[in-house]
Homo-oligomer: A and B are copies of this chain.
Amino acid sequence: MRITTVGLDADDTLWHNETIFRLTHERFVALLADHADPATLEARLAETEQRNLRLYGYGIKGFTLSMIETAMELTGGEAPASVVREILAAGREMLGHPVETLPGVDEALALLSDSYRLILITKGDLLDQERKLAASGLGDLFAAVEIVSEKNRGTYDRIFARHGTGADEAIMAGNSMKSDVLPALEAGAFAVHIPYAITWAHELADAPADHRRYGKLDSIDQLPGWIASRSRTAA
């Protein structure tokens, strides 16, 4: 079995992301502390986000709009202007947040790019993801960058056909079981789950029961070895 192409998720796989969302959640909860308890605030925000996904898609702009909407709902439509201003500011700060790559990412990608075609495959806001990739300094290692509205089987079929030699000779690595691992396996690719410290509830899913093309790693620095061993042995 040959592997020619390595797809990599971006947020929480190459650099910290969910921690930044969590900080903003905490800020949101503090802002509205007079109106509801933290658990209620978190639950309502999650509901709004989930409901708005089909309209806003993924990313910080939609998240900011969902925070404002939730603030309105929790205050009977009368959120103070100061709360709205704070939420706008929080969204802007997220969009300007420095990019901090995860431990081992630079070395692992440098190594992988010697032998494989690397493709960045990520959801989120177009401009924001491009900004983060540029700020990460990793841009030159990728043969292609695909910012997509959803990650499903068709997404991986299309991307690995366009930029590689098909899903059969590709592997996807990322922190989301739901978006990175399961649909890539469905498409016929290898897939490796590298969990991040925190997972957004929306991205949770069960691991595949027993799949020869699936692996779970503690850290991205184990990825080059995992791929090398699979590339040699039969799948």
B65 touches A85 (CB 8 A): no
**A69-99, CB under 8 A of B: which get 1 and which 0?**
1001001011111101100100110011000
Q: Is the CB of B55 within 8 A of A95?
A: yes
In the assembled complex, the Cα of A56 lies from the Cα of B61 at a distance in Å of: 7
Interface of A: prevailing SS: helix
**A contact residues, range:** 20 to 34
Q: Which of B72, B85, B96 is the one whose CB lies under 8 Å from A72?
A: B85
Q: Which residues of B contact A65 (CB under 8 A)?
A: 61, 64-65, 88, 91
Nearest Cβ on chain B to A129's Cβ, whole angstroms:
9
Q: Is the CB of A84 within 8 A of B68?
A: yes
Does A149 belong to the interface (CB within 8 Å)?
yes
Q: A18-63: which have CB < 8 Å to B?
A: 55-57, 59, 61-62
Judged by a CB distance under 8 angstroms, whether A205 is at the interface is no
Q: Of all chain B residues, which has the CB nearest A53?
A: B127
User: CB within 8 A of A55: which of B69, B78, B92, B148?
Assistant: B92
Instruction: Give the nearest-CB partner of A73 in chain B.
Output: B85
- A84: min CB distance to chain B, Å: 5
Q: Which residues of A contact B (CB under 8 A)?
A: 55-57, 59, 61-62, 64-65, 68-69, 72, 75, 77-82, 84-85, 88, 91-92, 95-96, 125-128, 130, 147-149
